[in-house]
Amino acid sequence: MRIRTYLLCAVLLYSLANEAVAKKLRTNGYSIFWSDTISGGTSSVSGWFALESLPTDTAAFLGVKDADGRYINICTDHWGHLLLGCNGRYEKLNSTVEPFEWVHLILDMKDKRIFKNGRSLSHRSWSSLNTSSPLLLWAGKDFTERQGWGYDLNIINGVIDGIRADTVSIEKVMLLANIGQRLKQHPDLSIDNKNFRYEFSRPKYHLIPAANWTNESHGLIYYNGLYHIFNQKNASNILLREINWGHFTSPDLIHWTEERPALHPGEPYDSLGIWSGHAVINKEGVPEIIYTGGARHTSINIAFPVDSSLISWRKYPCNPVIPDRPKQFLRTDMRDPYVFSDNDQYYMIVGFGIDKPQGSHGALLLYKSCDLKKWNYVGLLFEGNPSKDHSGRFWEMPVFKKMGKKWILSVNRVPEPGIPARTQYWIGSFKNERFVPDNPIPQNLEVINRLLSPSVSDTPSGKTVAIAIIPDEITGRGNYENGWAHLFSIPRQWVFNGKKICQVPYEGLEKLRTSHRSFDETILDRPLILSKAGLQKEILLTYRGKGDKPFGVTLYKNPDGSEYTKLYFNPVSEEFIIDQSHSSKRKDIPSNIRKDHYHVDTKKPVKLHLFIDGSVVEGFINDEDAFTTRVFPSSEDSAEIEVFSEDKSMTVQANIYDMKAAPIRLNF
**Region 391-403: what's the mean pLDDT?**
97
Say how far apart CA 121 and CA 84 lie, in whole Å.
10
Say how far apart CA 96 and CA 500 lie, in whole Å.
53
Say how far apart CA 193 and CA 200 lie, in whole Å.
9
- Check whether 440 has a pLDDT greater than 50: yes
Specify the CATH number for the domain of residue 293: 2.115.10.20
Q: Which of 21-30, 159-168, 283-292 has the lowest average pLDDT?
A: 21-30
- Check whether 194 has a pLDDT greater than 80: no
One domain, residues 536 and 618: yes
The stretches of 126-206 forming alpha helices (DSSP H) are: 170-177, 179-182
48 contact partners, CB below 8 Å, separation of at least 6: 102, 103, 104, 159, 160, 161, 162, 177, 182
Q: How confident is the model at residue 330 (pLDDT cuts 50, 70, 90)?
A: confident
One domain, residues 33 and 166: yes
SS3 605: coil
pLDDT tens-digit series, residues 624-666: 999 999 999 999 999 999 999 999 999 999 999 999 999 999 9
**Region 603-622: what's the mean pLDDT?**
98
Residue of 543, 565, 574 whose CA lies nearest to 633: 565
Residue 557 lies in a domain: yes
- Check whether 452 has a pLDDT greater than 90: yes
Residue 144 lies in a domain: yes
- The DSSP code for 419 is B
One domain, residues 24 and 166: yes
Q: How confident is the model at residue 546 (pLDDT cuts 50, 70, 90)?
A: confident
One domain, residues 187 and 217: no
- Check whether 32 has a pLDDT greater than 50: yes
Specify the CATH number for the domain of residue 586: 2.60.120.560
DSSP codes of every residue in 422-491: EEEEEEEEEETTEEEESSSSPEES-SSS--EEEEEEE-TTS-EEEEEEE-----HHHHHHHTEE-EEPPP
Say how far apart CA 638 and CA 293 lie, in whole Å.
44
One domain, residues 26 and 120: yes
Say how far apart CA 559 and CA 568 lie, in whole Å.
21
Residue of 581, 484, 617, 474 whose CA lies nearest to 198: 484
One domain, residues 94 and 218: no
pTM here is 0.94
Average pLDDT over the chain, rounded to whole? 94
Q: Of 296, 324, 352, which residue sits at a domain end? A: 324
SS3 101: coil
pLDDT tens-digit series, residues 127-138: 889 999 999 999
Q: How confident is the model at residue 10 (pLDDT cuts 50, 70, 90)?
A: very low
pLDDT tens-digit series, residues 43-100: 999 999 999 999 999 999 999 999 999 999 999 999 999 999 999 999 999 999 999 9
One domain, residues 50 and 131: yes
pLDDT tens-digit series, residues 461-513: 999 999 999 999 999 999 999 999 999 999 999 999 999 999 999 999 999 99
Q: How confident is the model at residue 21 (pLDDT cuts 50, 70, 90)?
A: low
Specify the CATH number for the domain of residue 39: 2.60.120.200
Q: Of 324, 346, 363, which residue sits at a domain end? A: 324
pLDDT tens-digit series, residues 398-421: 999 999 999 999 999 999 988 899
SS3 587: coil
Cβ burial, residue 316 (10 Å; 0-12/13-18/19+) = middle
Cβ burial, residue 417 (10 Å; 0-12/13-18/19+) = exposed
**How would you classify the pairing of strands 257-263 and 273-281?**
unpaired
In DSSP terms, 616 is beta-bridged to 613, 630
Say how far apart CA 326 and CA 338 lie, in whole Å.
17
- Check whether 253 has a pLDDT greater than 90: yes
One domain, residues 114 and 226: no
- What is the structure's pLDDT at 122? 92
Residue 624 lies in a domain: yes
Residue of 318, 261, 316, 323 whose CA lies nearest to 293: 323
Exposed e or buried b per residue across 370-396, where buried means at least 16 C-beta atoms within 10 angstroms of its C-beta: eebeebebeebbbbbebeebebbbbbb
One domain, residues 22 and 166: yes
- Check whether 305 has a pLDDT greater than 90: yes
Residue 490 lies in a domain: no
**Region 502-530: what's the mean pLDDT?**
97
**Region 215-232: what's the mean pLDDT?**
97
Does residue 437 have a cis peptide bond before it, meaning omega lies within 30 degrees of 0? Answer: no
Residue 528 lies in a domain: yes
- What is the structure's pLDDT at 26? 96
Domain count, the chain: 3
**Region 205-227: what's the mean pLDDT?**
96
One domain, residues 130 and 10: yes
Rounded to 5, what percent of the chain is helix, strand, coil?
5, 50, 45
- Check whether 347 has a pLDDT greater than 90: yes
- Check whether 13 has a pLDDT greater than 50: no
Residue 437 lies in a domain: no
269 contact partners, CB below 8 Å, separation of at least 6: 293, 295, 299, 301, 319, 320, 323
One domain, residues 54 and 110: yes
How many CB atoms neighbour CB 638 within 10 A?
Answer: 24
SS3 154: coil
Residue 467 lies in a domain: no
- What is the structure's pLDDT at 666? 95
Q: How far is CA 262 from CA 86, 289, 309, 600, in A?
A: 34, 9, 11, 45
* Structural domain of 573: 511-666
- What is the structure's pLDDT at 9? 33
- Check whether 7 has a pLDDT greater than 70: no
Opening angle at CA 470, ends 427 and 513, nearest 5: 100
Residue 241 lies in a domain: yes
Q: Of 193, 226, 251, which residue sits at a domain end? A: 193
Q: Which helix (H) or strand (E) holds 52?
A: strand 44-53
Cβ burial, residue 369 (10 Å; 0-12/13-18/19+) = middle
One domain, residues 217 and 120: no
- Check whether 386 has a pLDDT greater than 90: yes
Q: How confident is the model at residue 22 (pLDDT cuts 50, 70, 90)?
A: low
**Region for residue 248 given its phi and psi (left: phi exceeds 0; alpha: psi -120 to 50; beta: otherwise):** beta
